[in-house]
Amino acid sequence: MMRFRPSTVRRRRSQSASSALKDKDSSHAKQDSKPVKKKSVQWADDLKREQFGRPPLRKYNSDGILEFDQALKKLTRVSSMLETSTTLEKDFDEDLQIIQKKLMAESLLYTFEVRVLVKGYWIQISEIAVIKMSEVPVDNILDSLQEPIPRVGVTDAERELANNAHVEFENKQYDRCLMSLNKLSELRKNDPKVQHNNLVAQFYHSSCRGSEEFAHNLLQLRRQIEKDSGETGEELDDIDTAHLLYNESVIYFHLRQYTKALQILERLFKIVEPLEESLGYKICFLLSEIYLTLYKADKGHNVLTVLEAVAFGSNKPVESQMIQGGLQVQLGTGGQTGPQPIKEVDESLKLHIHQHKARLNILLKSMKACKREIKTVLNTNNATPEGLFLKGNFEFLRQNFRKSIKLLNSAPKPNDLADRGQSVSTMYYNNLGCIHFQMHKYNLAAFYFRKSLQENNKALSSLPPADKNAPVSSRALLTLGVSRRHEILYNLGIQLLFSGRPVVAFDCLVEAVQIYHTNPRLWLRLAECCVVAFQLSDDFRQQCIKKSDVVQDVVGSGPHRKIVLSPQTDKQCGTEENKGQSAAMPACTLAFASLCLQNALMLLKSAEVTQVHETESVLENQSGKEDDSLGQEMDASSDIGGLSRSSSVQSETSIPAPPGPPVKLREVPHLRCSILACSAYVALGLGDNVMALVHAQKLLSQSNLVGALKFLGHLYAAEALIKQNRLPEAIMHLSPENISNINIIPASTSAEVGSGENVDKDKETTKPHACEKMTFPESLNEARSSFLVNLAGVYSLQSEFDKARKCLQQACSLGYPKDLSARVVLLSVYIELQSGNTAGALQTIKKHQVLPLSKGFKAVKKTRGADVWKT
């Protein structure tokens, strides 16, 4: 727990004062600042030096710059008094006290703390009135002072109680601390700082339990302050309420209410410079953590740039674009041109900054900058799991999977769950599962995700039992984020889907969608589980591949021998699946898949409308400041791995898809096409041919459509038209010239993967992930042969058997997929029978292949049909 000291107002001394005191500045201006290793609520210790019940002095205009117009004029006069007074040469202590009392006599409305350097000594002037300053020279002020002015503000008894409460709080004696605060509350009943400290002490006294109630009490206290001051929202002076706001954001962060925490921290980040350094570091680290969690790389870059400039110092001004409104804040040397001394920074603070920069570069996939930061982290302390996990993630992105596994195995796995607030073993097995998923070992990945679930349950069981009626409030603050069950279930469901177990995968994803219901990808995965389960239940599709599967039985003998073929019927999702059950109930059926796809399309549509307005506002703000910031962008982004200005627009124009990365704007069309293709298939399975045709036509009308989805779009449109008896239109869709490639990944994405620096040049890019039990044409010839087989079926329906036979022959020459072999043989048998060639049909069944067109009739006519087929 870091102790809070009153914020110090940094002012610029006049030119004469700075020249006289220049050589004394450097030896006394250093202040010790230590970072906080964990995010916790803060104790406000303002009762020692500040006066309460006053309106705030420090205000911010629309540009976010501190207004000290009136205050600086008065302070300049104080400085000139201290420099020109001859009595200060003799005994400045007594004279300074007299000056202070005289200045306090003018007004006691607006006070604040300031430090003035006189003759190499730090003089503490704790309460100075700056509303109105006498124009009388300093010697006349000293002579005219008659009687001492009584001190107004905090009494000695109140100060002693505040000191005792703070000491007892630091010693973790919360009972005695609350007793002191209760006595202080009786003396200062309406003091918000005393009420805030009382809430913090009560929260720690309850072992940091009751987080929701504590957050509610802080919110009520803030609203009471706004009501008393007559200002609300951003008009309220955030400096006086900085600790209150920071504590609110900490609670919201642990409750995973990142939007609320972000709104508060962005307000505090605008005023981070005049705040105490330790509190400023905590605000920056927490804000950076939330940005990294939400995949907002550009805003995380801004925060780390400001934090690094404040903590390390800089030889040149660092320009950083602020969070809202495009405000510009300059940090560094100001008007000085010479090199500035680098501040001495605590090693733990450096380590935290380098860790956040490494995570940012991993998010940006900037491998060179990331490697440099990770090397610094490991050189500082190579025994921590954080550094080794970062290195493992780095090697994972470079597709060095074996090295990544080796680094994860070497990382220590401590059991300090109460201090860390997270289970390292749970993350270890989860990361192993992700690595094996990229290696296309889905069953092994599912095994590690199950192990991760077991470790997660083990970590939860090691905590004190929680109340079933209040599971959040009955648990300590740092242990609220221990459970990672839903993230692991999401990963496990994907592995089970790709390994060909859609029903079990559906159960995992249904539980995950209860938390991540705004993720369009997750709704699409649920629909895919239903589709795969429907396909695997089609027995004919799975079994009729060999000749023995086509022929069900042979009856009779001699001329009366008959061949019984296996029946082939289109499996429809009839009433048997959903008998007595609503389609809205979660079940692995095509009816529920249709609802999932509607949700996914709705989420994409609503998010796109919101992002369009945000993009326009961002572009307007950037275009208005393009002339001022164009020359400074390269310097601000070169040190962090090449983050350009366009990344801010890219971050704003992305759709959140927790727990995974957001859907970027350029990925939205491809995701929509996948949803439309799946919707067309589901509609066909449900027998809704009209809606299937609508979805297929929408799919084909999309721009930049990949080859694989274009192939499916024509295929589904043709089937819908055939079932509507619109055969001429179906023939147009089944033309082999309609497809030129069957690429699954868009050209832009594949180019980025192949040419970007996120992939090691020595490693080959992995193939796209797909379900192991599902088949898809592996080449363009197989895709065109599928079109020809279906085209032959259409010609057969029109009784154009010669054209149908030619299409089958052409499909055989191109090489059709193996899963179509039974359908091709049966279609060929049907064509031969309809043409009156019974012997050719028997020969086709016997050889289990389509007979060549030139040899078929001549060879068959010389023998009797009954002698062709022999058991």
Neighbours of 150 (CB within 10 A): 7
Residue 567 lies in a domain: no
CA atoms of 255 and 262, how far apart (whole Å): 13
Question: Are both 166 and 301 inside the same structural domain?
Answer: yes
- Does residue 24 surpass a pLDDT of 50? no
In degrees and rounded to multiples of 5, residue 146 shows phi and psi of -105, -60
Q: What percent of the chain clears pLDDT 90, i.e. is strictly above it?
A: 44
- Tally helices (H) and strands (E) across the chain: 40, 10
Integer Cα distance of 684 and 713 in angstroms: 12
**What's the average model confidence in pLDDT over 291-302?**
92
Note whether 571 and 564 are within 8 A (CB).
no
The pLDDT value recorded for residue 132 is: 29
Q: State residue 12's pLDDT score.
A: 37
pLDDT: is 391 or 317 the higher one? 391
- Could you tell me if residue 367 is inside a domain? yes
Residues 450 and 591 in one domain: yes
Domain limit, last residue, from 559, 578, 599 = 599
Does a structural domain hold residue 610? no
Q: Is residue 2 part of a domain?
A: no
Higher pLDDT residue, 72 or 61? 72
Q: Are residues 369 and 435 in the same domain?
A: no
CA–CA separation, 730 and 260 (whole Å): 54
**Euclidean distance between CA atoms 604 and 444, whole angstroms:** 33
Lowest mean pLDDT among 131-145, 152-166, 169-183, 248-262: 131-145
pLDDT at 852 over 80: no
Q: Which residues pair with 3 in a beta bridge?
A: 43
pLDDT at residue number 499: 93
Residues 370 and 429 in one domain: no
Closest C-alpha among 705, 703, 700 to residue 716: 700
Mean pLDDT across 405-430: 90
pLDDT at 130: 27
Task: Decide if pLDDT at 570 tops 50.
Answer: yes
Q: Do 248 and 372 belong to one domain?
A: yes
With bands split at pLDDT 50, 70 and 90, how would you rate the model's confidence at 121? very low
Question: Which tokens in the block code for residue 499?
Answer: 């390994």
pLDDT score of 616 = 54
Lowest mean pLDDT among 34-38, 40-44, 167-171, 230-234: 34-38
Q: What is the C-alpha separation between 690 and 400, in angstroms, rounded?
A: 49
Q: pLDDT of 721-764, one tens digit each? A: 999 999 999 999 999 999 999 988 876 555 454 444 444 444 54
Total residues found in the chain within this entry: 871
pLDDT for 584 beyond 70: yes
State whether 225 and 303 are in the same domain.
yes
In a domain, 772, yes or no: no
Distance CA 159, CA 108 (A): 19
Residue-wise pLDDT tens digits, 321-343: 333 332 233 333 333 334 444 55
Task: Note whether residue 359 is domain-resident.
Answer: yes
Rounded CA-CA distance 226/236 in Å is 7
What's residue 860's pLDDT? 38
pLDDT at 272: 87
Question: In which domain, by residue range, is 303 found?
Answer: 156-315+345-382
Instruction: Name the domain boundary from 599, 625, 655.
Output: 599
Best CA proximity match to 230, nearest among 108, 47, 56 = 56
Tell me the per-residue pLDDT of 499-553, one tens digit each, with 9 for 90 and over. 999 999 999 999 999 999 999 999 999 999 999 999 888 654 555 455 556 777 7
Comparing 110 with 485, which gets the higher pLDDT? 485
Q: What is the rounded average pLDDT of the residues 350-374?
A: 93
Q: Does residue 427 share a domain with residue 373? A: no
Per DSSP, what are the bridge partners of residue 554? 563
**How many domains does one find in the chain?**
4
CATH number at residue 436: 1.25.40.10
For position 215, what pLDDT does the model report?
93
Q: Mean per-residue pLDDT for 285-304?
A: 93
Averaged pLDDT, 352-370: 93
Residue in this structure with the two tokens 């307005």, named with its chain if needed: 613
Residues 274 and 352 in one domain: yes
Alpha helices, H only, 334-468: 347-364, 367-380, 385-397, 401-410, 417-420, 424-438, 442-462
* Residue 443 and residue 369 in one domain: no
Identity of the residue numbered 509: L
Local confidence band at 439 (pLDDT 50, 70, 90 cut-offs): very high
pLDDT higher than 70, residue 690: yes
Q: Residue 702: helix, strand or coil by DSSP?
A: coil
- DSSP lists the bridge partners of residue 562 as 555
10-18's contacts with Cβ under 8 Å and 24+ in sequence apart are 10/273, 10/274, 11/68, 11/71, 11/72, 11/75, 11/114, 12/72, 13/79, 13/117, 14/76, 14/79, 14/80, 16/80, 16/83, 17/79, 17/80, 17/83
| Residues 61/116, Cβ–Cβ less than 8 Å | no
122 lies in some domain: no
Both 431 and 370 in a single domain? no
Asked if residue 411 has pLDDT above 70, the reply is yes
Q: Are residues 353 and 499 in the same domain?
A: no
Q: Where is average pLDDT lowest: 127-141, 258-272, 350-364, 458-472?
A: 127-141
For residue 697, pLDDT beyond 80: yes
Does residue 701 sit within a domain?
Answer: yes
Residues 160 and 301 in one domain: yes
